[in-house]
């Protein structure tokens, strides 16, 4: 572990993200003036980087070697894009310095946000040409040519896929089911092992329906474009609970305009023929059957109890039930996996032939059990490389898929990205909408976050509590939060 001492609070996120990306095998902490005195005392001896930033420049000390930056006297290539943005200029300086010190370059350059494609999307909306946008990524953010081209390619595809979406008059709906068969090693989502919550599931569905009833009234007259039931794992509910929930959902909302109705079946050990028939009966058009890996030893380590054979059987059941739009998720960089393991997983998935494939780079979340696993086993056991990313991309290509959405997370293995690939007509529209933040999303359920997008681009959010029992207890408060968010919607 080593510490970065920073004299300004508003740069903390960017400094931590970039330093962590350059030193992936270290546990990086950031000290700011507001840090507690006991924390400062504890971490002071591990300080290796000091950042002193002010309005006109900064000094960066790395292992006692000092680097200086003054704004606006930026280098000539940067000046083309800076135009009075000192924070962007500071991030460029920080990136260049760390790159010089470590001898590394990062595929996404100094970008620290989760939505790098939004840049290309916005510039395309402005009428900028492809070469101009690629140069923008390179000069302003030091993004590699490959990642910049991928961003532009996906942005073009997103614009085409979202043509006809009702941005101002419409909305999308998210329904959250926060239960799973077990909690995976890497998971930080709102997820509770179903075995310990069976007694609460009926009450939870009751409250979820109450929240849906409010949203349907508040959004009356608006066009519903997509519906996504996620979690957790929605199919941990019993067939009759799923039937009650989806039946009420279809009764409350006008599905005449819905272009996509997704339910994450997700975990193979939650999928049965009876549940799949319930989903089909209620008009679900897209589901996910997510293996993450097809290596049994890894499944055991990460706590996914379904076997590889169960994954294949669940996929087969879904096809037999009539689903023609099935997504599969993979995670690259899982504990102990080699490039050969990834290739074997990709080959088995290609044999199954899903309709879309979402390839995740493992993200290390503090709230997950993975953080403790790393302390015990070492971060070097998590390997994600250009080769493994290429193997997944090549597998998607063999399946006739093209990339259609992309996002990044903090502390991703290899500093890469998550990419969704799909065959023609099988892309997940909700996935794009949640990333591009161009449409209001009303979200119901524990841990869900509603986002209202205003015509001027402003975004306001309303969060539901994560704990299931607390959500049930405070359902009236959750509805009141939505009333305030969606007032005059």
pLDDT digits (tens, 9 = 90+) for 330-358: 999 888 899 999 999 999 999 999 999 99
Closest C-alpha to 299, from 340, 345, 261 = 345
Sequence-separated (6 or more) residues with CB below 8 Å from residue 438:
162, 165, 167, 453
Mean pLDDT over each residue of the chain, to the nearest integer: 90
Q: Is 167 exposed, middle or buried (0-12, 13-18, 19+ CB in 10 A)?
A: middle
* pLDDT tens column, 270-286: 999 999 999 999 999 99
- Residue 212 tokens, joined: 């849906």
Sequence-separated (6 or more) residues with CB below 8 Å from residue 356:
325, 326, 327, 328, 401, 420, 421, 422, 423, 426, 427, 428
CA distance 461 to 342: 38
Quick one: average pLDDT of 3-11? Answer: 90
- Residue 135 tokens, joined: 């140069």
Number of CB atoms found within 10 A of residue 223's CB? 17
Q: Which residue has the higher pLDDT, 102 or 187?
A: 102
CA distance 74 to 120: 24
Q: Assess whether pLDDT exceeds 70 at residue 435.
A: yes
- Residue 257 tokens, joined: 């305009």
- Look at the alpha carbons of 327, 332, 336, 337 in this order and tell me if their dihedral is positive or negative: positive
Contact 232, 178 (CB under 8 A): yes
- Residue 383 tokens, joined: 């390997």
Quick one: average pLDDT of 41-45? Answer: 82
Instruction: Report the Cα 474 to chain-centroid distance in Å.
Output: 27
Q: Assess whether pLDDT exceeds 90 at residue 143.
A: yes
The whole-model pTM stands at 0.90
pLDDT at 79: 40
């Amino acid at each position: 572990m080593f510490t970065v001492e920073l004299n300004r609070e508003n740069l903390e996120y960017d400094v931590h993200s970039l330093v962590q990306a350059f030193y992936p095998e270290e546990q990086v902490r950031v000290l700011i003036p507001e840090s507690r005195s006991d924390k400062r005392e504890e971490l002071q001896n591990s300080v290796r980087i000091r950042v002193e930033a002010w309005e006109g420049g900064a000094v960066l000390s790395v292992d006692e070697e000092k680097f200086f930056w003054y704004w606006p006297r930026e280098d000539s290539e940067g000046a083309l894009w800076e135009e009075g943005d000192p924070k962007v200029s500071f991030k460029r300086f920080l990136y260049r310095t760390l790159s010089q010190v470590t001898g590394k370059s990062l595929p996404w350059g100094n970008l620290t946000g989760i939505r790098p494609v939004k840049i290309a999307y916005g510039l395309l909306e402005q009428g900028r040409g492809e070469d101009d946008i690629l140069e923008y990524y390179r000069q302003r953010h030091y993004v590699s040519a490959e990642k910049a081209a991928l961003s532009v390619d996906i942005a073009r595809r997103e614009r085409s896929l979202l043509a006809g979406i009702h941005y101002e008059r419409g909305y999308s709906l998210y329904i959250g089911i926060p239960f799973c068969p077990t909690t995976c090693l890497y998971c930080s989502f709102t997820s509770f092992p179903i075995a310990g919550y069976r007694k609460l599931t009926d009450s939870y569905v009751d409250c979820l329906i109450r929240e849906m009833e409010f949203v349907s009234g508040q959004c009356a007259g608006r066009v519903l474009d997509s519906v996504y039931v996620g979690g957790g794992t929605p199919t941990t509910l019993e067939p009759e609970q799923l039937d009650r929930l989806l039946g009420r959902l279809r009764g409350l909302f006008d599905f005449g305009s819905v272009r996509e109705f997704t339910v994450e079946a997700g975990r193979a050990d939650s999928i049965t023929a009876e549940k799949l028939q319930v989903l089909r009966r209620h008009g679900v058009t897209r589901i996910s059957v997510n293996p993450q890996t097809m290596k049994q030893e890894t499944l055991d380590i990460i706590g996914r109890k379904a076997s590889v054979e169960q994954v294949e059987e669940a996929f087969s059941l879904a096809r037999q039930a009539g689903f023609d739009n099935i997504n599969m998720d993979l995670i690259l960089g899982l504990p102990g996996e080699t490039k050969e393991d990834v290739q074997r997983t990709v080959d088995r998935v290609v044999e199954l032939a899903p309709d879309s494939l979402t390839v995740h780079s493992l993200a290390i979340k503090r709230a997950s059990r993975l953080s403790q696993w790393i302390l015990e086993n070492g971060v070097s056991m998590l390997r994600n490389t250009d080769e493994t990313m290429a193997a997944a991309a090549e597998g998607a290509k063999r399946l006739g898929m093209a990339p259609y959405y992309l996002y990044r997370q903090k502390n991703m293995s290899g500093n890469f990205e998550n990419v969704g690939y799909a065959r023609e007509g099988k892309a997940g529209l909700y996935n794009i909408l949640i990333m591009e933040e161009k449409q209001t999303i009303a979200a119901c359920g524990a841990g869900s976050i509603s986002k209202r997008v205003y015509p001027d681009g402003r975004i306001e959010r309303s969060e539901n509590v994560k704990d299931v029992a607390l959500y049930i207890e405070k359902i009236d408060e959750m509805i009141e939060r939505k009333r305030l968010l969606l007032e005059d919607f």
